Amino acid sequence: MTEWRNWSGSVVAGPRAFVRPKTLEELSGVIGNARKVRVVGAGHSFMPLCETDDVLVSLSDLEGAVEIAPDRKTVWAPAGWGLDKLTAALWAEGLSLINQGDINPQSLAGATATGTHGTGAELGSLATQACGFRLAMADGSIVECGPTERPDLYQAQRLSLGLFGVAVAIRINVLPAYHLEEKVERRPLAEVAERLDELAAATRHMEFFVFPYSDDVIFKTLHPAEPEGAFVDGNDIDEAPFRIACEIGKAAPVLIPSLQRLMMRLSAKPTRRVGPAYKIFPSDRTIRFEEMEYELPRANGMATLKEAMAYIRRKRMPIAFPFEFRLTAGDDIWMSPFNKGPGASISFHQYARMPWQGAFKEIEAVFQAGDGRPHWAKRHTLTPDDVHRLYPKAPDYLAARKAADPEGKFANAHLSALFGL
């Protein structure tokens, strides 16, 4: 038995075996002979999605290469590749992903299977970019599914949580390679709230970070641009002073409000850079945190954020991290929290070295009151009754799961409890 921990350190598993198959034949043998199987990517899930006491599989060493369609509008990509490796390989071929989140170590399979997303009022999650899957099934066989081939399996697999099989390759939509201009500046929260629709319409990507005890935001936009010479890699936000503030806040929580207002005063200088999209999208996030994220109807997003901030201030809660606010397009994926229409995403974080459980429970109630649904890989407390109430397609999803994996080989304790398996 070995020990595995997720990125934040809050999820611990003791799998009987942790395997890194190099070939499809080896992977099929591992799956066929296992009692239970879960697959791990970069460990950026905060829920125990990867937890198992039997076989934990990493696909990082699995054979595979990018296969570009003749029209260059789609590619088959190795599902176990990290988004960092995949986007660099695509760029070398003159291609880019349609959208990305703000970190890129996650595997392609993990990002699509949980509905991971970036920001952009007209852009969907990474799951919306997937249009085909090659899966290793519970008996070790390899099958392919898409809109017209095994359509029920395909529809369920689009946001699968790893319940249907092990994705070995995913067909994704791509664009010709493009550059982005990144702008970061401080703005008053009141202004951003009043002009949200206007600001969202003015740029391809918009998001902001706001500390619970500050009235200003760190406002960030990304927009396609022409290249401007040699690109100097960097980060959107300097983490050094924030790391110090987190440690001071841990030692003396009463200082957190003053520290947050000070950090915002120090972030007055706007920044700008232009570079390849795959270099501009992600940022290094090295300060460990715990995270809850809820996706709300867009009309409820700003009001719910304000209520969560007001709640924290009323209770004087020692929250060291900022909220992150993003916009995402609606979709038609069965278990996507964006399938009701255009969404506003609010991420609630706490420094990993500080208590978080109580605060998350209280703020989750605020998010739920705003008609929110959680990101499946971020902290939440949904029950089977909640799942069926929030997702009308849950019965179809579970029927497809039973057909694909009748013995529940790919279900762990968390997923069994979540879906009432």
Name residue, tokens 């009308």: 392
Domain coordinates in residue numbering, the chain: 4-58, 67-177, 179-374
Distance from the Cα of residue 318 to its chain's centroid: 25
pLDDT per position in the chain (421 positions), as tens? Answer: 689 999 999 999 999 999 999 999 999 999 999 999 999 999 999 999 999 999 999 999 999 999 999 999 999 999 999 999 999 999 999 999 999 999 999 999 999 999 999 999 999 999 999 999 999 999 999 999 999 999 999 999 999 999 999 999 999 999 999 999 999 999 999 999 999 999 999 999 999 999 999 999 999 999 999 999 888 787 777 788 899 999 999 999 999 999 999 999 988 789 999 999 999 999 988 999 999 999 999 999 999 999 999 999 999 999 999 999 999 999 999 999 999 999 999 999 999 999 999 999 999 999 999 999 999 999 999 999 999 999 999 999 999 999 999 999 999 999 999 999 9
Give the pLDDT of residue 1.
Answer: 65
Residue 147, C-beta contacts closer than 8 angstroms, at least 6 positions apart:
131, 154
Candidates 1.10.4160.10, 3.40.50.150, 3.30.43.10, 3.20.20.80; correct CATH number of 4-58? 3.30.43.10
Q: Note the CATH architecture for domain 179-374.
A: 3-Layer(aba) Sandwich (3.40)
- CA angle 239-185-330, nearest 5°? 90
Rounded CA separation 23/13 (Å): 25
Residue 248, C-beta contacts closer than 8 angstroms, at least 6 positions apart:
255, 259
CATH of domain 67-177: 3.30.465.10
Tokens encoding 314: 């009323």
Q: Which of 270, 285, 271, 274 is nearest to 232 (CA)?
A: 274
Rounded CA separation 323/338 (Å): 19
Give the pLDDT of residue 262.
Answer: 93
Contact 37, 166 (CB under 8 A): yes
Q: Which amino acid is at 91?
A: W
Q: pTM, whole model, 2 decimals? A: 0.96
Q: At what angle do helices 239-251 and 256-266 cross, to 10 degrees?
A: 170
Per DSSP, the chain holds a count of helices (H) and strands (E) of: 14, 19
Tokens encoding 153: 């399996």
Residue 98, C-beta contacts closer than 8 angstroms, at least 6 positions apart:
123, 129, 173, 174, 175
